[in-house]
Amino acid sequence: MSAECIHMRERGVDWRYRKQRSSRGDAGCSWSCCRGDNQGVPTDRAGRMSFKNMREYLAWLYYQYLLITGIYVLEPWEKSIFNSVLFSAIAMVVYTSYVFVPIHVHLALEFFSEIIDGQPESAMALMN
Amino acid sequence: MVQNSSTTLLSRPIPLLLIEKNVPQTDVSSRQFSHDTFEQPPMYVAVMTYLGYGIVTLFGYLRDFLRAVGLEKCHVAQEREEQKDFTPLYQDFENFYTRNLYMRVRDNWNRPICSLPGPIFDLIERVSDDYNWTFRFTGKTIHNVINMGSYNYLGFAENNEDFLKTVADKLRQYGAGVCSTRQEIGNLKIHEELEQLVADFIGVESSMIFGMGFATNSMNIPALVGKGCLIVSDELNHTSLILGARLSGATIRVFKHNNMHSLEKLLREAVCSGQPRTHRPWKKILIMVEGIYSMEGSVVRLPEIIALKKKYKAYLYLDEAHSIGAVGPSGRGVTELFNVNPADVDVMMGTFTKSFGAAGGYIAGRKELVEYLRSHSHSAVYASAMSPAITEQVMRAMKCIMGKDGTTEGIRRIRQLAENTRYFRAKLKDMGFIIYGDDDSPVVPVLLYMPGKVVAFAREMLKRKIGVVVVGFPATPITEARARFCLSASHTREILDEVLQQMNEVGDLLCLKFSRRKRSAFPDACKGGQLM
């Protein structure tokens, strides 16, 4: 950003703070919107977040997960314990649903089709 | 007083709603009602907040277990081996929250400052090697951090030589300490001048000053009320008021925050049934409210309280710690904001810490009240008198606000503060944050809710060189953790724009924009502050 940004122009106005302002450096404006860099997530000119690739987006999602569950304040080994417990619980849920949900759905469909059709089905035919 | 009217009140029915809602405005600049907003967040926010606290509590139990078993070193105080059979000295469980949540994140509080707390200040950098149990200084200073947490409403925390000339003169003349109490030999002429000036400023008969703002409340309320009296206090009153009320020994009843129906119901019930067991009439009923509540930023409904007070013959104690000098067209506080006669408020209390850049407090009112307090208040009799340099700082600040120093600096600052307040609040609301409080109050609480986000917010803002104050559980309700911004007349428009820009980024990064109000398109905060 050139030296004509509004921050540079207004710098000389308030003489009371010249002591602090001069230590910011005379070379250029040091406010972040004019410096062009950001600490943290990259933002565009309007201030909205822009992710360059999937990895950054996933990292931000993981950060949100840390903040929402409150894990953010814990020490790393506590984070690992919580993550492994949660991951194993989710893995067990996924495995159980993978093994049992198709059978349950199949049985339920058979039950309702028996009611609609009115024909008694033998139990052996169902199991096959 | 209350004894005479209790029997007549019982004999005739009184309509419950006393206040008329459509009273025409008498003056353009005064208001009849305060407009507080307390927006509720979506339901999932409350669920996640409880979830976060629950998980950290579980881990707290785990760590306590490890410490008890001995697998982990215990950093808190413990009794000696020989005293293990005695009554426990350190109550372990009550400090559960401190030990297991506050200690993990306490690098966000008590940050050491090494410069003047003006609009921009310097911090000492400190790091911790053992997760915030101990800190060490790296030796570096973080320069030019924007200060959004100091109570510097009119910008009198300054080290300009010209403005502080009189203070330096008084320091040279009187020295720094007074070495006595007001009652003994510490009553300087400068104290009496300041008391007269404070009385003129507020518009009452006389006033008395004290060396410490907290002690003004906690030591003077016991002198005003005692056993057999009733204190009716707002549920969100400051600790100093609560402590003073408890010390006095009076009965305390609490009404819902700024809720006039709740207050009227309490007063009626108190007047009708009297003291708890004997049903004798109360000796005194004292209503305690604050001008601006510092955690919510809400303003008291003064005209309605005064109407209620006159009807039920109660006394009013108004604590203007944050509102004196900061609200009102000429900085006289909430009485000026609502165009109320200051003589209607029985006890007006305030502090010099916030808007005047000094330390101490005052109590003002009628001459008989102040003369009584001079001999009966603990703070007046036993506490050390105010230092002369601080007294002169208050005097010069007050003269500046009143315009008595011959410049328009005071009015300029008050107007700048009002403009900063309006601008900052409007912009934050536009961005989508949930903000509590009245549109005129320079205290802006931004709600963050979740414990992880509170901590992350404070750290992110410091990374971006903005110092904020975040407040969590014991000081606020458990689901309403917040960051509290205190605006100042010395914040320039570009400082506010920088803060707003960073708030916008941090709000997107941490997903803090919970507001469900309709808002305008996002304004570019960097372009010199054009209000959309």
Contact B316, B285 (CB under 8 A): no
Task: Give yes or no for B160 touching A (CB within 8 A).
Answer: yes
A-chain residues near B160 (CB < 8 A): 16
Nearest CA in chain A to B462: A39
- With vertex at residue B512, the alpha carbon angle to CA A6 and CA A75, rounded to the nearest 5 degrees, is 110
* CA B241 – CA B254 distance, rounded (Å): 12
- The neighbouring-strand residues paired with B210 are B361
Element of type H or E holding B453: helix B451-463
Does B508 contact A72 at a Cβ distance shorter than 8 Å?
A: no
* CA B364 – CA B451 distance, rounded (Å): 41
The closest CB to that of B158, out of A16, A41, A69, belongs to A16
Q: What is the pLDDT of residues B262-306, one digit of tens each?
A: 999 999 999 999 999 999 999 999 999 999 998 988 999 999 999
Task: Give yes or no for A89 touching B (CB within 8 A).
Answer: no
Helix (H, G, I), strand (E, B) or coil at B427: helix
Residues 6+ apart with CB under 8 A from B56: A70, A73, A74, B100, B101, B451
**Taking the model in full, what pTM does it have?**
0.82
Helices (H), chain A: 6-9, 18-22, 32-35, 54-69, 76-117, 123-127
Q: Which residues of A57-90 are buried (b: 16+ CB within 10 A; e: fewer)?
A: eeebeebbebbbbbbbbbeeebbeebeeeeeeee
Nearest CA in chain B to A44: B505
Task: Give yes or no for B509 touching A (CB within 8 A).
Answer: yes
Task: Give yes or no for A85 touching B (CB within 8 A).
Answer: no
The closest CB to that of B455, out of A6, A16, A72, belongs to A72
Distances (CA, A) of B57 to B95, B97, B164: 12, 8, 51
Classify the C-alpha dihedral B145-B147-B152-B153 as positive or negative.
Answer: positive
The closest CB to that of B52, out of A6, A16, A69, belongs to A69
Q: What is the pLDDT of residues B21-42, one digit of tens each?
A: 444 434 434 565 656 778 888 9
B-chain residues near A60 (CB < 8 A): 509
Task: Give yes or no for A82 touching B (CB within 8 A).
Answer: yes
Q: Name the band, by pLDDT with cuts 50, 70 and 90, for residue B376.
A: very high
* CA B316 – CA B299 distance, rounded (Å): 16
Residue B383's φ and ψ, nearest 5 degrees, are -85, 150
Q: What is the pLDDT of residues B58-75, one digit of tens each?
A: 999 999 899 888 888 888
Q: How many percent of chain B have pLDDT more than 70?
A: 91
CA distance B272 to chain A (A): 50
| Number of residues in chain B | 532
* CA-based R_g, chain A, Å: 31
The closest CB to that of A68, out of B48, B104, B522, belongs to B48
Residues 33 to 52 of A: which have CB under 8 A from any B CB?
33-34, 38-41, 43, 46-49
Domains of chain B: 49-107 (no CATH), 109-155+409-510 (3.90.1150.10), 161-402 (3.40.640.10)
The closest CB to that of B104, out of A6, A23, A73, belongs to A73
* Of B243, B208, B252, B236, residue with least CA distance to B222: B243
A-chain residues near B528 (CB < 8 A): 6
Distances (CA, A) of B496 to B119, B419, B423: 10, 11, 9
Residues 6+ apart with CB under 8 A from B89: B79, B83
Nearest CA in chain B to A8: B494
Element of type H or E holding B482: strand B482-486
Residues 104 to 133 of B: which have CB under 8 A from any A CB?
104-105, 118-120, 131
Among A8, A10, A38, A67, most B C-beta atoms within 10 A, so best to mutate, is A67
* Of B510, B64, B58, residue with least CA distance to A71: B58
The single residue listed with the structure tokens 């307090």 is B373
The single residue listed with the structure tokens 């309700």 is B477
Please give the full DSSP string across B59-97, using - where no structure is assigned. Answer: HHHHHHHHHHHTSS---S----GGGTTS--SS-TGGGHH
Residues 60 to 79 of A: which have CB under 8 A from any B CB?
60, 64, 66-75, 78
* CA B497 – CA B526 distance, rounded (Å): 6
Q: What is the pLDDT of residues A5-24, one digit of tens each?
A: 444 433 333 333 433 444 44
B-chain residues near A48 (CB < 8 A): 508, 522
Element of type H or E holding B242: helix B239-248
Q: What is the pLDDT of residues B385-438, one digit of tens each?
A: 999 999 999 999 999 999 998 889 999 999 999 999 999 999 999 999 999 988
Does the pLDDT of residue B177 top 80, yes or no? Answer: yes
Residues 6+ apart with CB under 8 A from B57: B100
* Of B281, B350, B280, residue with least CA distance to B313: B281
* CA B215 – CA B198 distance, rounded (Å): 18
User: Mean pLDDT across chain B, nearest whole number?
Assistant: 88
* CA B392 – CA B397 distance, rounded (Å): 8
Helix (H, G, I), strand (E, B) or coil at B206: strand
Question: What's the pLDDT at B83?
Answer: 86
Does the pLDDT of residue B446 top 80, yes or no? Answer: yes
CA distance A28 to chain B (A): 16
A-chain residues near B460 (CB < 8 A): 40
Residues 43 to 62 of B: which have CB under 8 A from any A CB?
48, 51-53, 55-56, 59, 62
Helices (H), B106-175: 165-174
Q: How many percent of chain B have pLDDT more than 90?
A: 72
The closest CB to that of B508, out of A24, A49, A69, belongs to A49
A-chain residues near B453 (CB < 8 A): 67
Q: What is the mean pLDDT of residues B149-172?
A: 91
